[in-house]
Structure 1
Amino acid sequence: MRWRADDFSLRYNLLFPAYAQLPPRLGYALAGQHAGLFRRKRAEEEAVIRTQMQGAFPAATEVQLAGWLNDYYRMVEQEALDTWYLQHQPIQNLVDLQGFEAVAQARRQGKRVLLTGGHFGRFWMAGAAMRAQGFTTGTITRDGGTTNQHGLHPAEYRYRLFKLQRLQQALGGAFLVEGDELRPLYRALNDHLIALIFDVPYIEAHKGRVTVNFISGTIDLPAGIYRIAKKTKAVIAPFFMRDWGEGRVVAEFSALLDPNDYNEATLMGLLAQQLEQRIRESPGHWWLWPALPLLRSK
C-alpha cells in the first residue's frame, strides 16, 4: 500500500500494527521505548508540561520532573497502542477492575450509572474490561464528525476516526458527538453505562462552572455531570487507572455518588479531590497538564 506524504505516519501505519502482533509485554515495552523519539518533536508541549508540573509541585527535583515526563510520554504511546491491542488480545490479559461490583449491583437494580474520572491514565481500557463482564459503555466524544474541524494533521485525523471505530466496537455502547442534543444520552443511560469525563466541555458545561480546590490553587470545572445525573436520576461512579507496568492497568472504582446527597460545588470538589490524590501518586499519568492553565480559576 502507498501513502501520500501528508497522510503517512510511522507510528500509525507501521509501528503500532506491528507491535500489536507481539505479546503485550513486548509490544508495550517497544511503544514505551520509542516514546523518546516522538517526544523530541514536541519540545514546546514538553516545556509547557514541565512548567505546569513545577508550578503544581514546587519542591519537585529535576530528577522527579524528568521521571514524570518520561511516564507521561510513555503513557501517550502505550495508550495509542491500546487501539490495536483491543482487537488482538483477551482484555483480561491487560486490564483488571477493582471496586466494580458496586456499579454492577446498581445496574442489576435498574439504576442508571454515569462513569467519570479526570483524564487519568489509559482510561478507555476500563470500558473494554467492563464489556467483558457484560456491561456496555457509551460516551460523548469530540471526534466522529464528518470533517476535520479541529485542524489535525491528516494522519492524526485518520487515526482518531480509526480509534473511535475500534472503541465503539470494543465498548458496545452509544457514542454521541459533542454538540448534539442530549436526549439520546438520556435514553442511552437505560441500556448502557455512560462515561462523562468531567473536564470535557460537553454542552451542559456552558450553563455554569464551579470553582474547586486543586493542586496548589483552584480550577473551574463544568458541573454538567452533576446536573445530568440529577436530571436522569443516575448515580455517579468515579474511576481512575493505575499502571501496573508491562502494558497492564487496573481500573479502581471509588464509592458511588448520589447527586441528591450533594450540591454541585461539593460533588465536583469531591471528584477533583479524588483526581488530585491520584495525580500526587503518579503525576506523569494525568493527560491534562498542558491544559491546566485553562482550568485554573480566573
Structure 2
Amino acid sequence: MRWRPEEFSVRYNLLFPLYAHLPPGLGYRLAGHQAGFFRQKRAEEEACIRDQMLGAFPSASGQQLGAWLDDYYRMVEQEALDAWYLQRQPIGAIVELQGFAAVEQARRQGRRVLLTGGHFGRYWMAGPAMRALGHTTGTITRDGGDENIHGLHPAEYRYRLFKLQCLRQALGGPFLVEGDDLRPLYKALNNHLIALIFDVPYVEAHKGVVTVKFISGTIDLPAGIYRIAKKTKAVIAPFFMRDLGNGRVRAEFSALLDPFDYDETALMGLLAGQLEQRIRESPGHWWLWPALPLLRSSNNNEPGRKNFASGREPLAQPDY
C-alpha cells in the first residue's frame, strides 16, 4: 500500500527542486542519471519507441538503438528539470543561439516572424535565450486547460501546469490554447515572436494537412504554420536544438522562409526535410517517436487511434 498521496511525486516534488539549487552542469547530470530508474516504469512506451526507431532505420544495431533510447530518456528528465532552472539560473549558463541574427534583422525591418521546429530536443529553452536579447515569444499550446481532460496522472498534470506557468513568465508573450480564436495571435505578431511547433494532427480533424516525404515514407503535417504566415505576411524561422552535453543546448536557426516563395506542400516538405536531417544526426532527441504511426499518412485515418503526443492517452503510468 502506498503511504504517499497520489498527487505527490518524487521527481516533481523532491528531486527536480533539489537539483535546481545546484550548478546547472551537476543538476542536469543528476537528472540524466535518474532516467534509467524512471524509464523502467515505462516499458510499454520504450518498446513502442524502439519499434518506431527500428522501422525508420532497419539497419540499426542493437547497440545503436540502446544509445538512442538512452539519449531519449535522458532528454525527458533534463527537459523536465528545465522548468525549475528557468527560475533560478542565468539562461546563458544553459542555452546559446546560433543564426538568430537573421531573426533580429527581420524584426528591425518591421517584419513579423513565426518560429517553428518539429519537437526536436529541449526546444522551449530557445525562448528564454531570445528573451534575454529583448525578444518576447508567444505560442499556441495543447496544455493549459482548467481540467485534466486527457486523463494524465495527477502529478504529471500538475507539473504541466507548473511548466506552462514558468514558460509564460520566461517567454513573456501571449499563450493561446489550441482551438481558441486566432485573431489575438495575428495581432500579437506585431510585437512578439510566435512559436508554432508543428505537431501530430488530431485524428478526428484531418482538414488542412499535407503529405510530405519523411524517413523512407510519408507523413501528414498540419499546414497551419504556412497559412498563418501567408495571411499575416510573416517570415518563418525554423530552428532545432543541439545537445552540447551536461544540460547545455544550442538553438540553431536555419535560413528564413517566405511563404510567398512556396506552396504549402513544398514549404512543409522543406521543414520536414530539415527535421529529418536532425533526426538522422541524433535519433534520440526527437520527441514524437511514439506518435510516428499517427504521422504516417497510411495510418492517420484508422478508427480508434489515440494521439499519444498530445497526452490524450499516455502509453504508461510511471511511478512519479
TM-score, structure 1 as length reference = 0.97
Structure 1 distance, partners of 2:156, 2:208, is 32
The amino acid of 1:92's aligned partner reads: G
1:95 aligns with 2:92: no
Question: Secondary structure of the residue that 2:6 maps to in structure 1?
Answer: helix
Structure 2 distance, partners of 1:108, 1:176, is 25
Question: Secondary structure of the residue that 1:5 maps to in structure 2?
Answer: coil
Structure 2 distance, partners of 1:5, 1:200, is 34
Aligned residue in 1 for 2:36: 36
Q: Which runs of 5+ in 2 are unaligned?
A: 299-320
Report the Cα offset of residue 207 of structure 1: 3.3
Structure 2 distance, partners of 1:211, 1:287, is 20
8 Å CA contact 2:200, 2:295 repeated in 1: no
Aligned residue in 2 for 1:227: 227
What does the per-residue CA deviation read over 1:14-63, in whole Å, with 9 as the maximum and x for residues that have no partner? 00000000011110000000001100000000000000000000110000
Report the Cα offset of residue 4 of structure 1: 5.8
Structure 1 distance, partners of 2:56, 2:62, is 14
Aligned residue in 1 for 2:312: none
Aligned residue in 2 for 1:251: 251
Structure 1 distance, partners of 2:59, 2:154, is 41
Report the Cα offset of residue 201 of structure 1: 4.0
The amino acid of 1:133's aligned partner reads: L
Cα separation, partners in 2 of 1:219 and 1:286, compared to 1, 3 Å: same
The amino acid of 2:163's aligned partner reads: K
1:173 aligns with 2:173: yes
Q: How does 1:1-298 map to 2 (within 5 A)?
A: 5-201=5-201, 206-298=206-298
The amino acid of 1:66's aligned partner reads: G
Structure 1 distance, partners of 2:22, 2:64, is 32
TM-score, structure 2 as length reference = 0.90
The amino acid of 2:249's aligned partner reads: V
Question: Secondary structure of the residue that 2:126 maps to in structure 1?
Answer: helix
8 Å CA contact 2:136, 2:192 repeated in 1: yes
Report the Cα offset of residue 295 of structure 1: 0.1
Aligned residues: 294
The amino acid of 2:115's aligned partner reads: L
Question: Secondary structure of the residue that 1:237 maps to in structure 2?
Answer: strand
Question: Secondary structure of the residue that 1:194 maps to in structure 2?
Answer: strand
Structure 2 distance, partners of 1:77, 1:239, is 22
Name the structure with the higher helix share: 1
What does the per-residue CA deviation read over 1:163-192, in whole Å, with 9 as the maximum and x for residues that have no partner? 000000000000001111111110111111
Aligned residue in 1 for 2:309: none
Report the Cα offset of residue 294 of structure 1: 0.2
8 Å CA contact 2:201, 2:209 repeated in 1: no
- Superposed structure 1 runs of 4+ greater than 3 Å apart: none
Report the Cα offset of residue 237 of structure 1: 0.3
Structure 1 distance, partners of 2:148, 2:4, is 17
Aligned-pair identity (%): 81
Report the Cα offset of residue 130 of structure 1: 0.2
Question: Secondary structure of the residue that 1:6 maps to in structure 2?
Answer: coil
Structure 1 distance, partners of 2:67, 2:264, is 36
Structure 1 distance, partners of 2:187, 2:159, is 29
Question: Secondary structure of the residue that 1:59 maps to in structure 2?
Answer: coil
Report the Cα offset of residue 208 of structure 1: 1.6
Structure 2 distance, partners of 1:294, 1:252, is 27
Q: Which runs of 5+ in 1 are unaligned?
A: none
